[in-house]
Amino acid sequence: MSVPTTSRPPSRPRLGVFKFASCDGCQLTLLDCEDELLGIADALEIAHFLEASGDPAPGPYDLSLVEGSVSTPEHVERLRRIRAESRHLVTIGACATAGGVQALRNYADVGEYLAAVYARPDYIETLATSTPISAHVPVDFELRGCPIDRGQLVEVITAFLAGRKPGIPNHAVCFACKRRGNVCVTVAHGTPCLGPVTHAGCGALCPTYGRGCYGCFGPAGTTNLPALVPLMHRDGMGDEDIDRFLHTFNVTAFTAVEEEGPG
Amino acid sequence: MNDPATRSQVLRVPALSRVEGETALHLRVHEGTVEEARLNIYEAPRFFEAFLRGRSHTEPPDLTSRICGICPIAYQLSACRALEDVCGVVVDGQLAALRRLLYCGEWIESQTLHIHLLHAPDFLGHDDVIGMSRFHPAHVERGLRLKQTGNAVVELLGGRAIHPVNVRLGGFHRTPTRAELRPLAERLRTALDDARDTLRWVAGFDFPDAECDADLLALTEPGTYAIESGTPAVLPYDRALPRRGFPLGDFSEHVTEEQVPHSTALHSRLDGRRHLTGSLARYALNGHLLSPTALEAAREAGLGAPPLTSETEDGRPGEVCRNPYRSILVRAVEVLYAVEEALRIISVYERPARPYVEAPARAGIGHGATEAPRGLLYHRYALDGEGRVTDARIVPPTAQNQGAIEEDLRRLVQAGLDRGEDSEDELTRLCERAVRNHDPCISCSAHFLELDIVRTPGPV
Ligand code: SF4
Ligand code: SF4
Provide the pLDDT for residue B43.
Answer: 62
- Residue A91's SS3 state is strand
Quote the pTM value. 0.91
Mutate to test the pocket of ligand 1, among B51, B66, B447 (most ligand atoms within 8 A of CB): B66
Indicate whether B5 belongs to any domain.
no
pLDDT band of residue A4 (cuts 50, 70, 90) is very low
Buried b (16+ CB within 10 A) or exposed e, B18-27: bbbbbbbbbb
Q: From CA A107, how far away is CA A85, in angstroms rounded? A: 33
Show the domain range for B258: 46-459
pLDDT band of residue A32 (cuts 50, 70, 90) is confident
Q: From CA A106, how far away is CA A110, in angstroms rounded? A: 8
ipTM confidence: 0.90
Mean pLDDT over residues A27-48, rounded? Answer: 86
Q: Please indicate, yes or no, whether residues A122 and A199 belong to a single structural domain of this protein.
A: no
Question: DSSP state, A140?
Answer: S
**A-B contacts at Cβ under 8 angstroms:** 195
pLDDT, greater one: B314 or A51: A51
Show the domain range for A28: 14-162
Provide the pLDDT for residue B450.
Answer: 37
Indicate whether B109 belongs to any domain.
yes
Indicate whether B52 belongs to any domain.
yes
CA distances from A126 to A95, A206, A251 (A): 16, 34, 19
- Residue A85's SS3 state is helix
Provide the pLDDT for residue B221.
Answer: 95
Indicate whether A3 belongs to any domain.
no
Q: Please indicate, yes or no, whether residues A107 and A213 belong to a single structural domain of this protein.
A: no
Q: Calculate Rg over the CA atoms of chain A.
A: 20
Q: Please indicate, yes or no, whether residues A146 and A197 belong to a single structural domain of this protein.
A: no
Residues 111-150 of B with CB under 8 A from A: 113, 117-118, 121, 125-135, 140, 144-145, 147-148
Contacts of B114 (CB under 8 A, 6+ apart): B328, B331, B373, B439
Provide the pLDDT for residue B3.
Answer: 43
Indicate whether B447 belongs to any domain.
yes
Task: Specify the number of domains making up chain A.
Answer: 2
**Cβ–Cβ below 8 Å for A116 and B49:** yes
Instruction: Give B88: exposed, middle or buried? Use CB within 10 Å, 0-12, 13-18, 19+.
Output: exposed
Q: Please indicate, yes or no, whether residues A189 and A216 belong to a single structural domain of this protein.
A: yes
Q: Please indicate, yes or no, whether residues A202 and A152 belong to a single structural domain of this protein.
A: no
Helices A225-234 and A239-246, axial angle in degrees (round to 10): 130
Q: State whether residue A102 sits within 8 Å of chain B by CB.
A: yes
Give the ligand with the smallest distance to the CA of B21: 1
In this predicted structure, the answer to whether residue A52 has a pLDDT above a threshold of 60 is yes
From the centroid of its chain, how far is CA B186?
27
Indicate whether A116 belongs to any domain.
yes
Indicate whether A55 belongs to any domain.
yes
Provide the pLDDT for residue B451.
Answer: 40
The CATH number covering residue B107 comes to 1.10.645.10
The CATH number covering residue A86 comes to 3.40.50.700
CA distances from A250 to A14, A93, A96, A134, B354 (A): 30, 10, 10, 14, 32
List the one residue out of B372, B353, B434, B349 whose CA is nearest residue B98: B349
Mean pLDDT over residues A206-222, rounded? Answer: 93
Q: Hey, which residues does B232 pair with through a beta bridge?
A: B219
Task: Measure B113 CA to ligand 2 centroid, in angstroms.
Answer: 35
Q: Whose CA is nearest to atom 2 of ligand 1?
A: A146
Q: Please indicate, yes or no, whether residues A105 and A82 belong to a single structural domain of this protein.
A: yes
Provide the pLDDT for residue B195.
Answer: 98
Buried b (16+ CB within 10 A) or exposed e, A94-129: bbbbbbbbbbbbbebebeebbebbbeebeebebbeb
pLDDT, greater one: A62 or A73: A62
Indicate whether B38 belongs to any domain.
no
**Cβ–Cβ below 8 Å for A50 and B261:** no
**Would strands B167-168 and B171-172 be described as parallel, antiparallel, or unpaired?**
antiparallel
* Each residue's pLDDT expressed in tens, for chain B with a length of 460 residues: 344 433 433 333 334 555 544 567 777 888 888 887 777 665 667 788 888 999 999 999 999 999 999 899 999 999 999 999 999 999 999 999 999 999 999 999 999 999 998 888 889 888 788 788 889 989 999 999 999 999 999 999 999 999 999 999 999 999 999 999 999 999 999 999 999 999 999 999 999 998 999 999 999 999 999 999 999 999 999 888 888 999 999 999 999 877 666 555 566 789 988 999 999 999 999 999 999 999 999 999 999 888 876 554 544 567 889 999 999 999 999 999 999 999 999 999 999 999 999 999 999 999 999 999 999 999 999 999 999 999 999 988 888 888 898 888 888 888 888 988 878 778 888 888 888 888 776 544 322 233 444 555 544 3
Q: From CA A75, how far away is CA A68, in angstroms rounded? A: 10
Q: Please indicate, yes or no, whether residues A26 and A152 belong to a single structural domain of this protein.
A: yes
In this predicted structure, the answer to whether residue A212 has a pLDDT above a threshold of 70 is yes
Q: Please indicate, yes or no, whether residues A55 and A122 belong to a single structural domain of this protein.
A: yes
Q: Please indicate, yes or no, whether residues A70 and A22 belong to a single structural domain of this protein.
A: yes
**Cβ–Cβ below 8 Å for A105 and B47:** yes
Contacts of B318 (CB under 8 A, 6+ apart): B287, B288, B304, B305, B306, B307, B308, B309, B312
Q: Hey, which residues does B33 pair with through a beta bridge?
A: B30
Helices B327-347 and B279-286, axial angle in degrees (round to 10): 70
Q: Please indicate, yes or no, whether residues A152 and A254 belong to a single structural domain of this protein.
A: no
Indicate whether B339 belongs to any domain.
yes
Task: Give me the amino acid identity at B441.
Answer: C
Q: Please indicate, yes or no, whether residues A36 and A151 belong to a single structural domain of this protein.
A: yes
Provide the pLDDT for residue B15.
Answer: 47
Task: Measure A232 CA to ligand 2 centroid, in angstroms.
Answer: 13
The answer to whether B49 is a known ligand-binding residue is yes
Give chain A positions within 8 Å (CB) of B112.
none
Provide the pLDDT for residue B204.
Answer: 96
Indicate whether A8 belongs to any domain.
no
Indicate whether A5 belongs to any domain.
no
pLDDT band of residue A192 (cuts 50, 70, 90) is very high
Task: Specify the number of domains making up chain B.
Answer: 1
Indicate whether A133 belongs to any domain.
yes
Indicate whether B32 belongs to any domain.
no
Indicate whether A168 belongs to any domain.
no
Mutate to test the pocket of ligand 2, among A175, A180, A184 (most ligand atoms within 8 A of CB): A184
pLDDT band of residue A6 (cuts 50, 70, 90) is very low
Indicate whether B9 belongs to any domain.
no
Q: Please indicate, yes or no, whether residues A177 and A232 belong to a single structural domain of this protein.
A: yes
Provide the pLDDT for residue B36.
Answer: 79
The answer to whether B163 is a known ligand-binding residue is no
Which residues are near ligand 1 (CB < 6 Å)? A 22-23, 25-26, 67-68, 93-95, 100-101, 146-147; B 66, 69, 162-163
pLDDT in tens, A95-154: 999 999 888 877 777 777 667 666 556 656 677 788 999 999 999 999 999 999 999 999
CA distances from A17 to A22, A27, B116, B171, B446 (A): 13, 7, 20, 36, 18
Contact B262, B452 (CB under 8 A): no
